[in-house]
């Protein structure tokens, strides 16, 4: 929903649906888009992460596995099951995503990382890759993926523990 101010000072809600990529261009003195009160979809997955956990960005930028993790796993990031991130992200563009996993008494975590099935090594916050998950907690992994050339990315990652 986009809120449009009207002359009376009352806002009217207008639904806009875009079926293709939209480009909004600002200037050096004005932003291209100004937003307030935005909600983002959390894709809830009612299972534990499988051995290869596919994070499809077409489902949304936040994915939460609501059943306790049972083993370490590989995180594979793609646009969808039929489209690659490489084909959808232009050079010089970036995208952010958050993976939330529930841990029981034994903690697990993603130990290998892929984009479109190709391995990559994230650059971790504070130059320190996580060495374990956190027991009886929700671990949140956030990644910013920056496409630098065709099929080449700089990936910044962090892990935060919520107990």
Mean pLDDT of 21-46: 88
pLDDT for 18 equals: 80
Residues 109-133 have pLDDT tens digits of 999 999 999 999 999 999 999 999 9
Q: pTM value?
A: 0.85
Q: Is residue 57 part of a domain?
A: yes
Q: Is residue 23 part of a domain?
A: no
| More confidently predicted of 100 and 10 | 100
pLDDT for 13 equals: 55
pLDDT for 3 beyond 80: no
Strands 2-5 and 152-162 come out as: unpaired
The residues, any chain, with a CB within 8 Å of residue 65's CB and separated by 6 or more, are 45, 47, 48, 49, 53, 99, 100, 101, 102
Mean pLDDT of 18-36: 85
User: How many whole angstroms separate alpha carbon 128 and alpha carbon 130?
Assistant: 6
Q: Is residue 5 part of a domain?
A: no
Q: Is residue 98 part of a domain?
A: yes
pLDDT for 77 beyond 70: yes
Range of the domain at 66: 40-162
Q: Label residue 34 by pLDDT band (50, 70, 90).
A: confident
Q: Is residue 118 part of a domain?
A: yes
Number of domains comprising the chain: 1
pLDDT for 8 beyond 50: no
| Enclosing H/E stretch for 64 | strand 62-65
Q: Is residue 30 part of a domain?
A: no
Q: Is residue 22 part of a domain?
A: no
Q: Is residue 45 part of a domain?
A: yes
pLDDT for 12 beyond 70: no
| More confidently predicted of 5 and 105 | 105
């Amino acid at each position: 929903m986009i809120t449009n101010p009207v002359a009376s000072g009352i806002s009217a809600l207008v639904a806009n649906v875009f079926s293709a990529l939209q480009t909004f261009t600002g200037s050096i003195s004005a932003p291209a888009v100004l937003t307030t009160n935005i909600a983002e979809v959390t894709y809830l997955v009612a299972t534990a992460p499988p051995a290869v956990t596919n994070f499809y960005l077409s489902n949304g930028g936040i994915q939460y596995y609501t059943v306790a993790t049972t083993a370490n796993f590989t995180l594979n990031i793609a646009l969808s099951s039929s489209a690659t991130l490489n084909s959808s992200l232009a050079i010089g563009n970036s995208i952010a995503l958050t993976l939330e996993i529930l841990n029981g008494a034994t903690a697990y975590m993603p130990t290998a990382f892929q984009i479109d099935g190709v391995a990559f090594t994230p650059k971790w916050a504070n130059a320190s890759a996580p060495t374990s998950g956190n027991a009886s907690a929700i671990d949140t992994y956030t990644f910013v993926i920056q496409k630098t050339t065709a099929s080449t990315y700089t990936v910044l990652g962090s892990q935060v523990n919520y107990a």
